[in-house]
Structure 1
Amino acid sequence: MEGKPQVEIYDTTLRDGAQMEGVNFSLQDKLRITEKLDEMGFHYIEGGWPGANPKDVAFFREVRKLPLKHAKICAFGSTRRADSAVEEDRNIRLLLESEAPVVTIFGKSWTLHVTEALKTTLDENLRMIEDSVSYLRKQGREVIYDAEHFFDGYKADPEYALKTLQVAWEAGARILVLCDTNGGTLPHEVEEVMKVVRERLGKGVPLGIHAHNDSGVAVANSIAAVRMGAVQVQGTVNGYGERCGNANLCTVIPNLWFKMGVASIPEDRIRKLFELSHFVSEIANLRHDDYQPYVGRSAFTHKGGVHASAILRHPATYEHVPPEAVGNQRRILVSDQSGKSNIVYRAKEMGVDLDPKDPRVDALVQKIKEAENFGYQFEGADASFEILLRETLGEKVKFFDLESFRVIVEKRKEENTVTEATVKIRVDEDVVHTVAEGDGPVHALDNALRKALERLYPALKRIRLSDYKVRVLSEKEGTAAKIRVLIQSTDGERVWGTVGVSTNIIEASWEALADSVRYGLWRKLRREK
């Protein structure tokens, strides 16, 4: 990073990110994320608000036991209450008792909040800022001052907003962070306001940015602030945060490095951003956003045939950075928009070298277009595609043939519903006829198929369904609508997807289920060879 401008990364996933709807980190979750952020080389990690809840109190106690190598832990809180002595303020006392080496204190910049929320005078608010920052500094803490609602406050009363910054700086704050708390400021406004702040306070006063995403520009605002001289960016992993979220550090960090030549975390850690993003979403128990820039699964995914063909010749034609630079990977999809290049690329990933001039490639492209026209989708059904590919090339991925199946669902008054499936399949010359019950039609079919096959194929015991999704394709048809079923399966080592389509949900489910079992058995047999 020598020679590059440097920006500090301040993470508030554990505090601001935890305020997002649907997020509830446990103490262990917060400690695990802290270790991961430190491993990534983040400069500051905001642990929470001491005293806000027992969990945050416990966090500051337990985090002291972690052997952190890079990050400083920050305790977050407000200035002292109006008309009270700072030495007697409970919030200030708890911040000190947290023993965090850094305290991030927020104060009011907007006259509306001073008079209506705090119910105090403008002068008293300035004293609250000065007393709090000064006292914390005298207690040996590094103080980061978050100017809450700064941009809204500046628009309402520029002189007063600037005065709050001046007071915080003179009281001993190490850095002044301008907060777009309501998320309503646009990038050009950030640049205009920061220019005035820089002129008024002088270039020697370090500034930071804390942006919310209510206008969809939190990342853009953070970049604009850095352009105007900000040396710290506050944000969260995956942009988690209250309402519409905060600036997404998984986007900010690579934008700074690749687009602006500005360093933040070590270069080798940038290649772990994909891992970090997915780690935090897993800990938060939230589905990862596939369409997230840089770290989303679809960020380097190509579907159109023209795109795929160009990518194979030169990746820069449709990729702004190499996917490996952030730990992601390129994906070429197979769909009704695919050309030969998509098929050849996907086949190569599966260990099959195809000549684009091979007539079987044309046949496969045609089969895929016809299948997707009917309602199939292979983007989430890699196993169904591979079965289609290999069978088109003459390879057998069969193992069994269906003779018939029947499903009976019986409901009697207030008793539990009983579901029973009967399956008749042919394995070579043998016909196997089994019956099994289950928690619903698909579960019963799965149990009956396993009962028929496990004696012949013991490997089936390791294969299980891990996800089941249903999509109605023609809603206007009502109960006669065409249904697409996607099944995800695993053998404990790998996960694969299969698809089935029919106007009958049970038939569509059977098709996806049968493909799942065939693929799992074929994969096991292939590994043994």
Structure 2
Amino acid sequence: KLQMTREEVLHDIAELTSYAKEHYSTVLFSAEDATRSDLNFLIKANQIAVENGATRINIPDTVGTITPNAFGYIVRKNYEALPKNVRIAVHCHNDFGLAVANTIAGFENGASEAQTTIIGLGERAGNASFEETAMSLYALYRIPMNINTRKIFPTAKLIESYCGGKIKIGRLQPLIGQNAFAHESGIHAHGMIKHARVYEPITPELIGIRRSDEVEQIVKQSIKLGKHTGGHALKAKLEDLGIHPTNEQFQKIFNHVKSFGDKGHEVMEEDFLAIVKDVMGELPEEEQYVKIDELTVLTGSVTPTSTVRLKIKNNGDQIEKTASSIGVGPVDASMKAIVKCFEPMSKVKLLEYNIDAITGGTDALGHVSIELMDLETNQIVQSSATHEDIVMSSVLALLKGLNKIMKDKNSKN
């Protein structure tokens, strides 16, 4: 790149370092692309810099192409060849994901300064991340540093906000990522409830995340729900909310959470609350007079059509009813088919229908709430249901309302 001979390079190092020393007491010399240079020439260049006033020597892995063992060897050889009052710094790039490992290898072999960046920002794949390097040296090597570690997470979030959405902290990023202190699998969640250090190497408070090792805070902030959730985690979540379901209700909540997670969804707090509310609002098995046996929906380029088969308990007998209907969409068609199927028991009218996405995204749970009137008695009932399929959430909400009407009629007979 420079189109210079080795002699010319050494001459310029001596001249420019001397000039820098005349103006500054601290002078750092950095030989670019050191790890791909001839080692003996690199050492010679660093010695010339020190002889002419450099007080610090930086050894950069400019293109991130070296392994920790090899980098440690280069640092060690320079450390042995230079005066001990000269500080050795390292500057590592992350092209192969080894920036932090190489930086640590440098410290193991004589380096005492690391050039890092918050959240690893830098050219191409970035540099060694400050938070990973600092906490590795602090927690794993017990090296004393003048760093307030409790500022690490807030600082990383501040830098992220300054990046205008172009650079985000990765979900799986060590220490500061969203998953760094999150636990979903049953075994891990159970262990965390027993003792935080079982599955966390440090307390989040140490890097400025507001969560202590108290069980209540672990359950509230770190136990996540999904397809790997176990019974202990779910029980702890429910107890934290002050909810005490029956065994049957607990199993239904558990199945709903697992089913939602199995489809690749993350069960957010709002999703969980909607599932719990849905299950806890269900009528007991003996009070479920209307059940859906089969639902078929056709939609797309054809007129939306729904066919439904219900099992209805009436005066001690169980009958099956089948009906079909068309509508302006699959929800409308399905609701009309169920109402038609139910007509021999009682005529009902849908007074109000509302649907909300619990969380953002096309795969969010849909929560449907309805208001239904029994035209024979003018009784008005309200019901709701939650499901990832809006047709099913609508159908389930309607069935709950019909069951409330049937329960009231049977209680009066």
Interval of TM-score (by shorter of Structure 1 and Structure 2): 0.5 to 0.7
Hey, what does 2:260 align to over in structure 1? 371
Query: Deviations 1:79-105 (Å, cap 9, x if unpaired)?
Result: xxxxxxxxxxxxxxxxxxxxxxxxxxx
Query: Residues 500, 203 of structure 1: CA spacing in aligned structure 2 closer, same or farther, 3 A cutoff?
Result: farther
How many Å separate the matches in 1 of 2:279 and 2:55?
A: 67
How many Å separate the matches in 2 of 1:229 and 1:259?
A: 17
Hey, what does 1:129 align to over in structure 2? 13
Q: Map 1:422-501 to 2 at 5 A.
A: 431=351, 468-470=360-362, 484-485=363-364, 501=388
Matched-pair identity in %:
25
Deviation at 1:295, TM superposition (A): 0.8
- Contact conserved, 1:151 with 1:180, CA < 8 A, in 2? yes
Deviation at 1:189, TM superposition (A): 0.9
Hey, what does 2:291 align to over in structure 1? none
Hey, what does 1:475 align to over in structure 2? none
Deviation at 1:449, TM superposition (A): 7.3
- Contact conserved, 2:169 with 2:176, CA < 8 A, in 1? no
- Contact conserved, 1:378 with 1:385, CA < 8 A, in 2? no
Hey, what does 2:29 align to over in structure 1? 145
1:271 lines up with 2:150 in the alignment: yes
In structure 2, the residue corresponding to 1:272 is in which secondary structure?
A: helix
Query: Residues 486, 229 of structure 1: CA spacing in aligned structure 2 closer, same or farther, 3 A cutoff?
Result: farther
Q: 1:194 aligns with which of 44, 52, 75?
A: 75
How many Å separate the matches in 2 of 1:361 and 1:160?
A: 70
- TM-score, reference length from structure 2: 0.65
Deviation at 1:362, TM superposition (A): 2.7
How many Å separate the matches in 2 of 1:353 and 1:485?
A: 24
Deviation at 1:353, TM superposition (A): 5.4
How many Å separate the matches in 1 of 2:391 and 2:248?
A: 32
1:257 lines up with 2:138 in the alignment: yes
Q: Map 1:60-99 to 2 at 5 A.
A: none
Deviation at 1:468, TM superposition (A): 4.6
Deviation at 1:261, TM superposition (A): 0.8
- Contact conserved, 2:365 with 2:388, CA < 8 A, in 1? no
1:212 lines up with 2:100 in the alignment: no
Hey, what does 1:281 align to over in structure 2? 160
1:347 lines up with 2:238 in the alignment: yes
Deviation at 1:164, TM superposition (A): 0.9
Query: Residues 344, 159 of structure 1: CA spacing in aligned structure 2 closer, same or farther, 3 A cutoff?
Result: same
Where in structure 1 are there 5+ consecutive unaligned residues?
Answer: 1-116, 397-407, 409-419, 434-447, 451-463, 471-483, 488-498, 515-529
Q: 1:335 aligns with which of 226, 242, 249?
A: 226
Larger CA Rg, structure 1 vs 2: 2
How many Å separate the matches in 2 of 1:449 and 1:341?
A: 32
Query: Residues 320, 431 of structure 1: CA spacing in aligned structure 2 closer, same or farther, 3 A cutoff?
Result: same
- Contact conserved, 2:26 with 2:56, CA < 8 A, in 1? no
Deviation at 1:172, TM superposition (A): 1.6
1:162 lines up with 2:43 in the alignment: yes
1:299 lines up with 2:183 in the alignment: no
Deviation at 1:199, TM superposition (A): 1.3
Q: Map 1:366-445 to 2 at 5 A.
A: 366-373=255-262, 375=263, 377-379=265-267, 381-394=268-281, 431=351
Between the two proteins, the alignment pairs up a number of residues equal to 308
Hey, what does 1:316 align to over in structure 2? 197
Q: Quick one: which amino acid aligns to residue 316 of structure 1?
A: R
How many Å separate the matches in 1 of 2:49 and 2:361?
A: 54
How many Å separate the matches in 1 of 2:365 and 2:208?
A: 27
Q: Map 1:98-109 to 2 at 5 A.
A: none
- Contact conserved, 2:271 with 2:365, CA < 8 A, in 1? no
Query: Deviations 1:237-280 (Å, cap 9, x if unpaired)?
Result: 111111211101111111111111113343xx212212111221
Query: Residues 170, 348 of structure 1: CA spacing in aligned structure 2 closer, same or farther, 3 A cutoff?
Result: farther
How many Å separate the matches in 2 of 1:282 and 1:134?
A: 41
In structure 1, the residue corresponding to 2:77 is in which secondary structure?
A: helix
How many Å separate the matches in 2 of 1:186 and 1:376?
A: 37
Q: Quick one: which amino acid aligns to residue 5 of structure 2?
A: T
Query: Residues 273, 395 of structure 1: CA spacing in aligned structure 2 closer, same or farther, 3 A cutoff?
Result: farther
In structure 1, the residue corresponding to 2:158 is in which secondary structure?
A: helix
- Contact conserved, 1:291 with 1:299, CA < 8 A, in 2? yes
Query: Residues 394, 180 of structure 1: CA spacing in aligned structure 2 closer, same or farther, 3 A cutoff?
Result: same
Q: Quick one: which amino acid aligns to residue 366 of structure 1?
A: N
Query: Residues 486, 226 of structure 1: CA spacing in aligned structure 2 closer, same or farther, 3 A cutoff?
Result: farther
In structure 2, the residue corresponding to 1:368 is in which secondary structure?
A: helix
Query: Residues 152, 281 of structure 1: CA spacing in aligned structure 2 closer, same or farther, 3 A cutoff?
Result: same
- Contact conserved, 1:376 with 1:500, CA < 8 A, in 2? no
Q: 1:180 aligns with which of 37, 61, 68?
A: 61
In structure 1, the residue corresponding to 2:114 is in which secondary structure?
A: strand
- Contact conserved, 1:376 with 1:501, CA < 8 A, in 2? no
Deviation at 1:321, TM superposition (A): 1.2
Q: Quick one: which amino acid aligns to residue 159 of structure 2?
A: V
- Contact conserved, 2:31 with 2:59, CA < 8 A, in 1? yes
In structure 2, the residue corresponding to 1:242 is in which secondary structure?
A: coil
How many Å separate the matches in 2 of 1:290 and 1:392?
A: 31
Q: Quick one: which amino acid aligns to residue 222 of structure 1?
A: T
Hey, what does 1:290 align to over in structure 2? 171
- Contact conserved, 1:344 with 1:353, CA < 8 A, in 2? no
Query: Deviations 1:273-329 (Å, cap 9, x if unpaired)?
Result: 121112211211223211111111101111110111111111222111112211234
Q: Quick one: which amino acid aligns to residue 119 of structure 1?
A: Q
Deviation at 1:348, TM superposition (A): 4.6
Moved more, 277-286 or 246-255: 277-286
- Contact conserved, 1:126 with 1:164, CA < 8 A, in 2? yes
Over the residues paired in the alignment, what is the CA RMSD in angstroms?
3.5
